[in-house]
Chains A and B, each alone.
Chain A
Amino acid sequence: MLDYIIRRLLVMVPTLLVISMLVFVIIQLPPGDYLTTLVQEYQDRGEQIGEEVLAFYRDNYGFGEPMWKQYLLWMKGILLEGNMGYSFAYEMPVSDVVGDRMFLTILVSFVTIVFVYIVAFPIGVYSAVNQYSPGDYALTFIGFIGLATPNFLLALVLMYLANEWTGASIGGLVDDHLRDAPMSWEKFVSVLQHLWVPVIVIGTSGTAGMIRRLRANLLDELHKQYVVTALAKGVPPKKALFKYPLRMALNPFIADIGNILPEIISGSAIVSIVLSLETTGPMLLRALETQDMYLAGSFLMVLALLTVVGNLVSDLALAFLDPRIRLGAEASK
C-alpha cells in the first residue's frame, strides 16, 4: 500500500510538469504580453510609459525573451524559491495577492462539497428506492431544474429576492465594514452569515447531478442477485439496503471527489463575480484578461494541483473501501 502511494506521488511530478508547460503556453498564446497591454493602456489615456519602467520589467521578468526562457525563469522561481512570480497588475508577489482569497475560496468550496453530499445522498437514495413514485418524480423534476439553471442566473434571482424581501444586500462574503479587517470572531460570524447564498448557488447543479448519479448507480445495484441473497437470509429490507447495494453504489460517488473539487472552484468564478465574492475566481478572470501571466499561471497550477491531489485522494479512498481494488485480482467470472 505504501509502495502504491509513493508511486502515485512520484507520477504526480511529471504530470504537474507537463500541465505547467501547457498552462504557460496557453497563457502566452494570445498576441502580445503584459507589457504591450500596459503600453496600450497608457496610450489610451494619452500618456507615455517611462522607458525605465519598461526596462525594469524586461530585465527582471524576461519579457521579449523566447517563451522557453520565460518558462524556465518561472519554474526556477517556484521550485527553488517557492516564489510563484510577481503580479504586475497588483504590483505584489503572487503569493501575497492570492493568500487571503485562497482561504475564502477553499472555505466556500469545502462547505459547498459538504452541502452537495449531505443534500444529494438522502434524496438520491429515496429516489432510487421509490423509483417512479410521486416523490421520485417531484425530486427528479426539481433536480432537472437545478441542473438546467445557470448558476449566475440563480445568483441574480436570489440576490433580487433577498433585496426585495429584506432589503439587505447579500452580495460579498462579509459585511462591508469588515472587508479589510483582519480575521476576527466577528468577521468569522459574518462570513458564516453570508456563506449560505454562494453555497446554495454553486452547489445546486452539483447536487442535482449527484442525485441523478446516485439514483442510477443504486438502481443498478438494487436488482443484483446479492441483494436477493441478503433478503433470503432474513435481513430486514432497510438493513439490507444500507449494508449491500448502498455500499456498492458509493464507489462512483467517491470516484467523483477528484472531479468535483476543480469543478466547483473554477465553476464558481462567474457566480463570484455576480455575487462579488472575494474568492479567487474573479481574480483569475481579471488576470487572464490583462495577461498578468504569473498570477494566471499560478492560479491554474493550483487548480491542476487540486485536481491531481483530488484524484489521488479518491483513488486511495476507493482502495480503502473496495477490497476488489485493494486486493486486486479479476473481479469478473
Chain B
Amino acid sequence: MRDERSGEHSNHTIDVDAGVDADVNADVNAGAPMSDAPCSPIAIKERTLSGDLLSVQDLRIGFKMMEGSLEAVKGVSFRVPQGGTVALVGESGSGKSVVSQAIMGILPKAASITGGSILFDDPRNDLPPIDIAALDRHGPQMRAIRGGRISIIFQEPMTALSPLHTIGNQIGEAVELHRNCGAAEVVDLTRDMLRMVGFPDPDRALRTYPFELSGGLRQRAMIAMALVCHPALLIADEPTTALDVTIQAQILKLMRDLQQELGMAVLMITHDLGVVANMAEEIVVMYHGEVMEHGTLDHIFRDPRHPYLKALLKAVPRFDMAPGERLVPIREIETKAESLHAEAVAAHPVVEPEKPILTVDGIRKTFSIRKGGLLKQSAPVRAVDDVGFTVKRGECLGLVGESGCGKTTLSKILMRALSPDAGRVSFYDGTRDIDVLALDGDDLFEFRRTMQFIFQDPFSSLNPRMTVLDILTEPLTIHGIGTMDERKQKAARLMDLVGLDMRHLKRYPHSFSGGQRQRIGIARALALNPELLICDEPVSALDVSIQAQILNLLKDLQRDLGLTYIFISHNLAVVDYIADRIAVMCRGRLVELAPSELLFQNPRHPYTQGLLRAVPDPNPDNALDFAQLMDDKASSPDRWPAPFTDDGTGGLIFHDLGGGHYVRAMADARFERSAA
C-alpha cells in the first residue's frame, strides 16, 4: 500500500491516470461514494468522540528533488480534538503547510508520505478511525473526506478561486459532490451558506465572479465553500495573512462564530502569533519539519520552554514594549556604519537642524477608474485628498492605513513618480528649500539622490539578471559618481553596512533568502547617501524572525547615518516599534497624526480607534474584543460619528490637541487637550 502511494501516481497534483484509476475504484465500490449522504447537512446526527478527531502520529513527508530526496516533515505528532482549535505555528519552510496538504491528500507532485499515520475519526459514522496517510490520494474514499469532512481555506482568496466561474457555481460544486441534492436544493444550500458568512445579498452573490469582490468578501466566499458541507475539521492555512487588519479581525470573528455554530474543529496554520493568541486553544510550534513545543495557549505564551519558541516570542513587536526596548531577532545582524556615516555627514551639511526636512501641504490626487471594461464608464476616485504633514529631520514618520487608503499613491507623489492635482512638497536639504513638485530636468535628476525608496517585495524589486554588484553600483553609475574602482569599494562597504558578506557581490539575487534580498534593497537605497528614505511595507513580505532583523537594521541605520524615514505599513505593531510619530490615513484623507505613545494611549479618531481594536496582540491577556469590532462603518468617512463625519462637502480641519497630536474633525468641534 505504502509503496503504491509513494510511487508514480502520487507525483502529480493533477494526474489523469490516477483519475482513471480512481474511476475504476469508484465502480468497484458501487457508485459515487458521496451520493448516499442526505441533502441537508443539519439532518445528520453526529456522535461524541471518545478519542481525538484527528491524530497525526510520527508523520514523515519527503520531497523528491533533482539532487536526491529531502525530508520536509520529520516525525511530527499532534492531535486535534473534536470541536477544538489547534494552531500550527512556524516560519516559512517549517513544514507546517506540507502537513496540512498531507491531511487533505493534496501534497505537491514531488512529495510523498514516507512514514507515520494520520488518523481521522469521522463523528458521522461508527466506523473506526481511517488512516488518511494510507488512502489513495485520488481514490473515492479520500475524495469523500476531502471537501466533505475535512475542508481547507487558503491564504490568497483571489488565486484560490477560479476567476472564470461564479461564486455560486464554485460553492455549489462542493454540495453536488458530497450531498445527494437536486439542483434547486444546491442553490438553496449555497445561498444559506453565503448568508451565514455575511454576504449582504446572497442571491446576487451567487452570480458574482471572484474579481468583482473585495479581498474580505472573497475570503468569506472561500470560507463558505469550505463549510457548505459542514465538515468536522476546517484547516485554515494562513487565512488572514493577505488581508487588512480590520478585515482580518472580521474574518477571525466569522471563523469563531461558525465554529461554534457548526461544532467543527479548526486547525489553524499561521506564522502570526497575534492571531494564534486570539484563536487557538492548543498550539504546536514547528521548526525545520519538527515539533519544537506543544501545549495549551497559556503554556505556550506564559511558560515557553524551547529556546526557539522563546526566541520567536521575543522577535514579535508588541504594543506593551518598554520605550527603547529592542526586538531580539533569532539571528542578529551586525552593521558597520562608520565609514558611511562620515560620507553622509560630509555630503549634507545642515544649517538649521530643527527645520522640518519635508513639508507636505494640501496634496490632492484623483484617479478616474474605468469600470465595466467594454462599456466605457469612469468614476473619479480621490486617492489622496488634501493631505499635509511635516517630517522632522532624523525622525521616522509612520504612515498607517488599510489597502487602498492612498498611502502608496502619496509616497509615489513624494518620489515624483506621480504628479498630484494640487498641493506643495517642500524639501529642506540643510541649506535651502527645494520645491519638489516644480523640479524638472537636471535639477530633478540631482534631487533624486536625496530621496530613495525601499520596496515591499524583495523578490520582484531586484533585477534577477543583474549581480548584486551591478545592482548596488547602478545608482552610482546613473549619477556618474566615482570611478569603477570607487564604485566597487562603495558596494563592498554597503554590503558590510547591511551585514552581508562582500564576497557575495558576484552572486545573483536568486541565491539569497527573502530577508537577505531586502537587505540588498536597503543597501541599494543607501548607495547615493540619501537623506530621506521612503519604506513602503518593507517587512510585510517577511517572516517574523526576519522582520525583527530588518526592523532593527533600519533602526540602527537611522541612528548611525542620521537618516529620516517615512515608514508605510498596515501593521500597527511594526509601526509602533519603529516610528516616532504616526499618521493615520483612510480613504485618501489624513485623519489623525500623533507621536506614537499618544496615538496608542489616546486615539481620538473613530477610525484610529477601530484600527487599534482590530490588531491581534500576541498576548492572551489582551484578547481581541470581537463584540467591539469595527464594522464597515469605520472606514467610510460619511458614517463616522460627529464631529468626524466627512461627507465630502468640506469644512473639516486639523485640530491641534497639544503635544503634537492632531485630529481631523469639523471646524467647530471642541476637544480636550492631549497630555503631552
* A residues with CB within 8 A of B: 1, 3-4, 129-130, 222-241, 243-245, 247-248, 319, 321-331, 333
Contacts and interface: CB of A to CB of B under 8 A. Distances in A.
A231 B105 CA distance: 9
A229 B371 CA distance: 29
21 contacts: A4-B374, A129-B12, A225-B154, A226-B160, A228-B160, A229-B160, A229-B225, A231-B14, A231-B106, A232-B106, A232-B146, A235-B143, A237-B22, A237-B138, A239-B19, A240-B14, A244-B164, A325-B374, A327-B372, A329-B212, A329-B372
Interface in B284-332: none
Interface in B167-187: 173-174, 177-178
A328 B372 contact: yes
A230 B178 CA distance: 13
A333 B22 CA distance: 36
Residue among A224, A227, A230 having the largest count of chain B Cβ atoms under 10 Å: A230
Contacts of B152: 232
A237 B370 contact: no
Contacts of A239: 19
- For the residues of A in contact with B, the DSSP-based class is helix
B108 to A, nearest CB: 9
Residue among A232, A245, A248 having the largest count of chain B Cβ atoms under 10 Å: A232
A237 B166 CA distance: 20
B211 A228 contact: no
B603 interface: no
Nearest to A321: B164
B600 to A, nearest CB: 30
Given A222-B13, A236-B138, A329 B211 contact: yes
Given A225-B160, A229-B154, A234 B174 contact: yes
A238 B19 contact: yes
Contacts of B23: 236, 238
Contact of B375 (A3, A231, A240): A3
Residue among A1, A229, A238, A325 having the largest count of chain B Cβ atoms under 10 Å: A229
Nearest to B218: A333
B570 to A, nearest CB: 14
Given A225-B160, A235-B147, 5 more contacts: A4-B375, A226-B163, A234-B34, A248-B163, A328-B375
B14 A245 contact: yes
B146 A222 contact: no
Interface in B1-49: 12-20, 22-23, 34
A232 B147 contact: yes
Nearest 9 CB-CB pairings of A with B: A328-B373, A234-B147, A238-B19, A233-B147, A237-B19, A225-B159, A4-B374, A234-B143, A226-B162
B259 interface: no
Contact of B148 (A222, A234, A248, A331): A234
Contacts of A237: 14-16, 18-19, 22, 138
Given A232-B106, A233-B146, A330 B211 contact: yes
B215 interface: yes
Contact of B151 (A232, A243, A319, A323): A232
A66 B17 CA distance: 69
B217 interface: no
A238 B21 CA distance: 11
Contacts of A325: 373-374
A230 B166 CA distance: 14
Contacts of A227: 13-14
Contacts of A327: 209, 211-212, 372-373
A64 to B, nearest CB: 48
Nearest to A233: B147
A324 B15 CA distance: 28
Nearest to A322: B164
B532 interface: no
Contacts of B143: 234-236
Contacts of B16: 129-130, 237-238, 241
Contacts of A234: 34, 143-148, 174, 177-178
B104 interface: yes
B106 A224 contact: no
Contacts of B209: 323-324, 327
A247 B164 CA distance: 8
Contacts of A130: 16-17
B161 interface: yes
Given A231-B146, A322-B164, A236 B13 contact: no
A225 B174 CA distance: 17
A196 B396 CA distance: 74
B161 A229 contact: yes
B434 interface: no
Interface string B179-221: 0000000000000000000000000000001011001000000
A231 B159 contact: no
B360 interface: no
Nearest to A241: B14
Contacts of A329: 211-212, 371-373
B424 to A, nearest CB: 31
Interface in B361-414: 370-375
Contacts of B34: 234
A240 to B, nearest CB: 6
Contacts of B374: 1, 3-4, 319, 325-326, 328
